[in-house]
Amino acid sequence: MTVKSKKYHISGERLEELQQIAEENMFMHASQLNDWRGKLNIFVKGEGVWVEDAKGKKYLDSLGGLWYKAAGYGRKEIADAVYNQMTQIESSPSGSATISQIELAGKIANLYPEKSSRSFFVSGGAEAVETAVKMAKKFSILNGKPGAYKVLSRRYSYHGGTAMAVSLGGAKTADPMGPTMPGAIHVTNWNSYRLPYSGDPVDVAIKCANEFEEVIKHQGPDTVAAIIAEPVSAAFGIQIPPQEYWQRLREIADKYDVLLIADEVITGFGRLGEYFGPMNWGVQPDITTVAKALTSGYAPLGAAIATKKVADAFTGGPEETFTHLITFGGHPSACAAALANLEIFEKEDLVGNSKKMGNYLFEKLLELKKYDIVGDVRGGLGLLAAVEFVADKKEKVAFPASAKLAQKLPKFLFDRNIVTFRAGDIISICPPLSITKNEIDYLVDAIEDSIIHLKKDLNT
Ligand SMILES: Cc1ncc(COP(=O)(O)O)c(C=O)c1O
């Protein structure tokens, strides 16, 4: 699918020059030079779910950037909002605010289940997590638990790349950094495909949630400030728990006077078919962290959203001050981008589309289960889904590294005009919430075609 060359398309010497500069002077995140040397994808244009590379080839972005492109590419109204903010006042003196920051705090409170919530703006997801955790620890101190410094999270979760967030995340692949945050304790994560215990899935989910209670009792409730978890863990392969899981987390947090933090950096703002994920289960967390879809990636912005109960603790005198500060947290132009982005959400009912198209996508993906190498398909709660491949479907045995799925699948998908990230044992799907039925058909056809190609390649 090559389109006629436009002014933003480049080729020949200029393209080679850019590849060389990148090769010599640039780090790419979460990779090493040999992964992309001489073949770095350079994109120059985007519209809706589509992106165009430097040579004019079009691809469907099946992961919405890195889980953030909710309103899709090329929204001029967001660019205009940023331009207007920047040309009016790009940032305000310390200790003051701009209209865009105030309006955004009001807008979020309006969309949030608890209307009297308060937002602490930051620059991205990890900072939102750091903010939420520091807030929870200080809240505990101010509420008669001065020794509460422990934070419980789940193995195989992801909460960001900064030191505290890495301590809370449970990935085995994180870079070693010596001792992690004292008081970071991990429990079993929920996995619907490979249940961590035998039994009925709902019972197992409750058992997993109860591990938080066991740790709190064992450590002493006075030492624990918070529980943090993603409503649906994308890092662990799109793991959707039964509603009883989060309901049980809420009960445990209440019983032991521990704050419940929902890390909604991926799921916040419509990804799970509601503005906020736990709304699906009637659960109100004490603090919610958001980033990505808040601006649909048009500007870097995150927030820790605190309920009134939590926020009110930071009112009084010097003792009650939350001294946390991030210079560019809640940058006015990013807030302007977020406001314009959320206006699109409302105008086009993107959250409704997430629910509707999420169901359609899930139904279509389920058809792929006919292939012997497709072990599981997960989805059906908004526009977040996964296809998991196995060498042995009956025993749910993963392919060995020698099958090279992580090298082959991204290429097979790319050859079919689908751009994704880290497809391997699992293809995660997180398209813009504006995606249409036809575009989902295109995407699922390309995935199916890639599966057929993979089967031939693997001789299965
Ligand atoms: C659940 C979750 N929390 C936090 C983060 C960190 O966000 P950021 O990369 O914006 O710092 C991520 C990033 O993917 C995430 O998935």
Residues 6+ positions from 35 with CB-CB distance below 8 Å: 28
Q: What is the pLDDT of residue 176?
A: 81
Q: Which two tokens stand for residue 400?
A: 């060995």
Atom of ligand 1 nearest to the CA of 124: 10
Q: pLDDT band at 4, cuts 50/70/90?
A: low
Rounded CA-CA distance 166/180 in Å is: 8
Question: 159 CB less than 6 Å from ligand 1?
Answer: yes
- Radius of gyration of the chain from its Cα atoms, rounded to whole angstroms: 22
359: pLDDT strictly greater than 80: yes
Atom of ligand 1 nearest to the CA of 230: 1
Question: 130 CB less than 6 Å from ligand 1?
Answer: no
Question: Which of 283, 429, 406, 433 has the alpha carbon at shortest distance from 347?
Answer: 433
Q: pLDDT band at 5, cuts 50/70/90?
A: low
DSSP 27: P
Q: pLDDT band at 57, cuts 50/70/90?
A: very high
153-196 pLDDT tens trace = 999 999 999 999 999 998 777 788 888 999 999 999 999 999 99
**Residue range 12-62+349-458, CATH number:** 3.90.1150.10
Q: What is the pLDDT of residue 172?
A: 73
Beta strand 43-47 with 50-53: parallel, antiparallel or unpaired?
antiparallel
Which residues make up the CATH 3.90.1150.10 domain(s) of the chain? 12-62+349-458
Question: 304 CB less than 6 Å from ligand 1?
Answer: no
CA 377, 351, 97, 123: dihedral to nearest 10 degrees? Answer: 10
DSSP 186: E
Question: 49 CB less than 6 Å from ligand 1?
Answer: no
Task: For Cα atoms 45, 266, 100, give the angle at the middle one, nearest 5 degrees.
Answer: 70
2: pLDDT strictly greater than 80: no
Question: 263 CB less than 6 Å from ligand 1?
Answer: yes
Q: Whose CA is nearest to atom 7 of ligand 1?
A: 125
Atom of ligand 1 nearest to the CA of 235: 16
17-39 pLDDT tens trace = 999 999 999 999 999 999 999 89
Q: What is the pLDDT of residue 321?
A: 97
Atom of ligand 1 nearest to the CA of 291: 10
Query: What average pLDDT does range 309-321 have in this prediction?
Result: 97
Q: Whose CA is nearest to atom 13 of ligand 1?
A: 160
431-454 pLDDT tens trace = 999 999 999 999 999 999 999 999
Rounded CA-CA distance 137/303 in Å is: 17
Atom of ligand 1 nearest to the CA of 127: 11
Which residues make up the CATH 3.40.640.10 domain(s) of the chain? 76-348
60 CA from centroid of ligand 1 (Å):
22
Rounded CA-CA distance 82/298 in Å is: 9
**Residue range 76-348, CATH number:** 3.40.640.10
Query: What average pLDDT does range 116-129 have in this prediction?
Result: 98
339-358 pLDDT tens trace = 999 999 999 999 999 999 99
Q: To test the ligand 1 pocket, which listed residue (266, 269, 290) has its Cβ within 8 A of the most ligand atoms?
A: 266
